[in-house]
Structure 1
Amino acid sequence: MNTELTDYLNPMIPAGIEHKKIKTVIAGSASLAGYGQLVGEDYDSFPIEIVRWPAQGWRKVDEDCGDEGGTTEGTFYSSWQGDVLMGSNAAVGGNYVLGYNCAPESADENTDRVPEKALLWHANYHPDGGQLFYPLDHKPFVVPLALPGDDVQPTDFVNFWFDGSQGLYIHPNIWHEGVFTTEGSQRFFDRQGAVHARVSINFPEEFQCLLQADLVKPTV
């Protein structure tokens, strides 16, 4: 088992790796069922699910404890630097390479190319609580998601396209990887479980691929 910490700013991605395109759908109440839900301008009062600490045997965790970690919040920044999509989450002090507009070995951080896709190398879920993202700049963004399960496959992911008028709440255990602005930079209000347990998948290591999430609005 690989016990080394992941370097989220310098992912090791082999050259020539396969790009697996995932389906893009418009985010709506029906399409998000099971994953989460849309969030409106009342995002600041939207409740975040916190999962009780799991029992280690047949004895239950007492009902008045085990879910008292609360939430943490801050601004999530999603920003294209040339061909590289960067993320920064002030709520948990994280900085990440979220994806690429082209093969990573050809990525140019100084280009003015308009991104058309995000090639995703990593995803994770939080077993301790849900997570909310609300677009403060009200611009389009996409979020690749997959339903719970540690045996998840690349083909299980769905790319949700948002027009920027509403945000997203995802349930605990939903596979995700932040929020991807479709161009330029964008700020999101982020609130999530403060424990911040993270279960990860590295697509190049496990599946020898990158996930391709298109940034353009899908045609209906």
Structure 2
Amino acid sequence: MTLDEVDALLGPEADHRVAERVFLAEGWTPCGAGDWASALRSPGGDLAVRISPFDPAGPYVAEIYREAAHTRQVPRLFVHRRLAGGGDLSVMEWLAAVPEVEAVAFHRAIAEAAPEVAELADVIRRVHERAQVELPWCGPIDVNPDNVMRAADGRLVIADLFSAAGPELYRTAADDPALVAARIPEWERRFMVEIPLTSSGPWEPGAQEKLRAGLAAADAARSRS
């Protein structure tokens, strides 16, 4: 699958809802969800699409996949595309879970820049350092063992290397929505209250509506100023 093919399927203004609906109509099937995104598996079983309503870190993670592709220690990335409203879409090779002991060892090797992962570790460090400068509420490298997976050819890869600092960002959105409105444009966070929160959630009753209203009020105040 190529970017041109995805663009032809989705059109230029698709958001995460459109993307999920289109892929489901093409025969892709749900295969999981995390805090930031849900995933669908291709009809042939060899690809997965990750669809997020809101993921500021998505372009940086995709950059790591591209820059470290030669190491074969990151997923094969076929398509990366931003979605309307701040969403993010990636089409990657299908990956399977690995035992936790293998995942922890792989994370440790990256953290220590061990020789067998030195090039990968360098790419991760460089891109993450830039993200920390450019990305409001950039999160740390994610050492969740679930992020280490195995490709169909048997190699270990690391995915979802980091994200926005979710707890801090959403706490700020609740307590000081004007600050979030000032630092992240509305068109880049339109659907920030629609992330799945499957791992650390669920959303508390009324929390999404409160965040949405607070941010809308902050945007209205900015437009009047």
What TM bracket, shorter-length normalisation?
Answer: under 0.3
Q: Quick check: which one's helix share is greater?
A: 2
Q: Quick check: which one's strand share is greater?
A: 1
- TM (norm. structure 2) is 0.27
- TM (norm. structure 1) is 0.28
Which one scores higher on RCO, CA 8 angstroms, separation ≥ 6? 1
